[in-house]
Structure 1
Amino acid sequence: MFGRNVSRSQTESFSKRSRSTKSKSGSFREHAVSKSRHDRPRKPPTEEGLQSGSTLTSSIVTLVVGREQRLFAAHEDVLCLSPFFQAACRGQFMEAQNKKIYLPDEEPEIFSSVLEYLYKGDYYPRLVHNKRRNAWELETGEGGAGSVESTVYHHGVDGELLKDTIIYCTAEKYGLEELKRVALRKQGLQSGIQCGTILSSARYAYANTPDNDSKLRAHYLALIIRSRNTFKRSGTMQLEMHAGGSQLFFDLFVALCNHVDDVASYAGSPRSVRTHN
C-alpha cells in the first residue's frame, strides 16, 4: 500500500525545509561489522565506557540479517543485554556450533543502529545537549542542519518509514526499554516529514506494538491532532480514512473527542468566563 511512487498529495510537508537525499552511515562503521554473506565478519574493537560494562572477552556471535543476508558480529555478553538475544544465545535460535543467529525479517540499517546502541548507549544521529538553549538536539551530519536522513526504506511495506519508529518497534521486540525511550525522544525532534510518511509510519507502529502501548501510539495521535490543519487538507489522509480498517483511526477519533471536550470544559470554566468578561 505504501509504495515508492507518491501522489501529489503525498508531497505535503510540515516544514519547508528540504530533506537530504542521502542517509549517513554514521560513526558505527568501525564497530558494527556489516559485510556480504561471502565475507568473514571481524571482531568489533574494544572501547572504554561501553554500555555493557564488559571487558568484551566473551565469544563472538555472527548475525545474518535481512534478505541480502548481511553479516554482523557482536560479543555474546553485549547481545545478552537484550532478553530476546539472551534466549537466542541459549540455543533457542542460534546455531550452537557456529554461534550464528538468523534475522531474515530485519532491516540491516535498523539492526546496525540497535547494535550501536548496545555498545554505546545511543545510535546515529546521537542526542546532544545544547547548553545555551538547555535543550536536546540531534547531531548533524557533515552537511550541517537537515543533512541526516530521517526515513529508511522498509521491505515489509515497500516504502519509506521513519527510522526512529522502526527502531522503537524493534526495541519492543528485543525487550530494550531504554532504547525505546531514546527512539521516541529522537522522533519528537524530527520535522519536515510528509503526511504520507507519517501515516504509513503510524500504521507500522500500530502493527508492531502491543495494544497497551502508551508512548509511540500516543505520539502519533498527538502529532496528527497538533497538525490537523495540514492533515484535513491532505489527500493522502482522505484516502487512508476511506480505506479504513485500522485501530489508528478509531483511536484518533477518541483523541479528537477528548481534545474537544477539554476545550469545551476550559471554555465553560468560571475562570474562563471571568477572563472574557
Structure 2
Amino acid sequence: MFSRSLSRSQTESFSRSRRSTRTKTSFREHAVSKDRPERTRKPPAEEALQLGGTLTSSIITLVVGREQRLFAAHEDVLCISPFFQAACRGQFMEAQNKRIYLPDEEPEIFSSVLEYLYKGDYYPRLVHNKRKNAWEFETSDGAAGNVESTVYHHGVDGELLKDTVIYCTAEKYGLDELKRVALRKQGLQSGIQCSTILSSARYAYANTPETDSKLRAHYLALIIRSRGTFKRSGTMQLEMLAGGSQLFFDLFVALCNHVDDVTSIA
C-alpha cells in the first residue's frame, strides 16, 4: 500500500505548495547538472595533512564483507570520516590488533571509498571536457566516455548501481563531498536497465534519511525522463502492484508536478 503523506523535506521538494512562491519549482531543483563547472577540491588525505595529520600515523586493518577481505589505511585518513573517528576511539575497534570489522559492507564499494579518501575520486574518475564544458568519465585509455557501473550487493542479492551504493555508504560515513561526487557520476549514467534503476532506487530510499532528498530526486527525475520505457516495462508494472515503498508515492507527486509545469508553460 502506498503511503499517503510526504515528510516535511520531501513536501518542500515535490509538492505543488512550494510552487506558489516560485513558478517553476519541481523535482528538477534537485536534479544533477551534467555541465556545471565546480571548484576542484584537494583529496581528503591531503587536506588532513594540512590540518596537522600525518601519513605516518597508525595503520588500521579493516576486515570487510562476508569473505573478510583485508584493507589497510592510515588512522588519520580514516578519521576524516566521523564514523571511523568514533570507531577508532571507541570499542568498535580491536585495540590490540587495530582491526575494524565491517561484515555488511561490499569490498568493491569500500575499496572505492578508500580510493576517494586518498585520491579525492574513485574509478572511473571524472574529467572536465573544456571544449564541451561538461563532465565525463575517464576510461582506462585516458579518453573520456560513458561508463555504466553496477555492483553485486549481497544484501539485496542482485545488481545495483555502484554510485548509488557509494552515495549511501558516504551518507553512513559522514562524507558529504563523496556523496556529491557519487551523485554527479550517477547523472552521467546511461543505458541502464529498468530493473536496475528500480532496485537501486529502492536501495536509495532504504539507506538515506528523509531529510536527504537529492539522491531520491535523482531517481524520480530519471524515471520521468525514461517514462516511455517504464510505461512498457513489465518490471515497473509489477513494482507498482507490489507497492510497499515511499518511492512510488513520491514518483506520483513528481509526475503530477511535471505535468503541471508542462501545462503552465503551454
TM-score computed with the length of structure 1 as normaliser: 0.76
Which residue identity is paired with 1:107?
E
**1:74 maps to 2:70:** no
CA 1:184 to 1:147, structure 2 compared with 1: closer, same or farther past 3 Å?
A: closer
State whether residues 137 and 145 of structure 2, in contact with CA within 8 Å, keep that contact through their aligned partners in structure 1.
Answer: no
Larger CA deviation: 99-108 vs 211-220: 211-220
- Residue 273 of structure 1 corresponds to none
Return the offset for 1:259: 1.1
Change (3 A) 1:77 1:86: same
1:146 Cα offset (Å):
6.3
One-letter amino acid matched to 1:52: A
SS of residue paired to 1:223 = helix
Runs ≥4 in structure 1, deviation > 6 angstroms? 143-147
Give CA-to-partner distance per residue, 1:139-159, whole Å, 9 cap, x none: 112497768451010000111
Equivalent position amino acid for 1:105 in 2: D
Larger Rg over CA atoms? 1
For the residues of structure 2 that align with 1:59 and 1:222, how far apart are their CA atoms?
44
- Tell me, yes or no, if structure 1 residue 180 matches structure 2 residue 179: yes
Match of 2:263 in 1: 264
Equivalent position amino acid for 1:205 in 2: A
Q: After the TM superposition, which residues 194-233 of structure 1 pair with which residues of structure 2 at under 5 Å, given as runs? A: 194-233=193-232
- Report the AA paired with residue 170 of structure 1: T
For 1:191 and 1:147, the matched residues in 2 are separated by 7
Q: Secondary structure, in 3 states, of the residue corresponding to 1:52?
A: helix
Equivalence for 2:149 = 150
Q: Counterparts of 2:166 and 2:73 in 1: how far apart (Å)?
A: 18
Query: Distance between the aligned counterparts of 2:114 and 2:173, measured in 1?
Result: 11
**SS of alignment partner, residue 152 of structure 1:** strand
Report whether the alignment pairs 1:135 with 2:150. no
Helix, strand or coil: the match of 1:50?
helix
- The Cα offsets for residues 108-152 of structure 1, whole Å up to 9 and x where unpaired, read as 000000011111111111111112212111111249776845101
How many pairs does the alignment contain? 220
Q: How does 1:48-63 map to 2 (within 5 A)?
A: 50-53=46-49, 54-63=53-62
The percentage of counterpart residues that share the same residue type is 89
Give unpaired runs (5+ residues) of structure 1.
1-46, 268-277
Name which structure has the greater RCO, CA cutoff 8 Å, separation 6+: 2
- What runs of 5+ residues in structure 2 fail to find an aligned partner? 1-42
Task: Decide whether the 8 Å contact of 1:153 with 1:160 is kept in 2.
Answer: yes
Structure-1 separation of matches of 2:132 and 2:145: 19
Opposite residue 48 of structure 2, the aligned amino acid is S
One-letter amino acid of the counterpart of residue 243, structure 1: A
Distance 1:51 1:113, change over 3 A: farther
Give the residue type in structure 1 aligned to 2:157.
D
Question: Do the aligned partners of residues 259 and 147 (structure 1) sit closer, same or farther apart at CA in structure 2, a change above 3 Å counting?
Answer: closer
RMSD: 1.8
Give yes or no for contact 1:141–1:147 (8 Å, CA) kept in 2: no
TM-score normalised by length of structure 2: 0.79
Give yes or no for contact 2:83–2:173 (8 Å, CA) kept in 1: yes
> In the TM superposition, what whole-angstrom CA distance separates every residue of 1:45-100 from its partner, at most 9, and x where no partner exists?
xx9x8353243010000000000000000000000000000000002310111110
Give 1 or 2: higher helix fraction: 2
Look up the match of 1:95.
94
CA distance in 2, matches of 1:103, 1:124: 22
The answer as to 2:237 corresponding to 1:238 is: yes
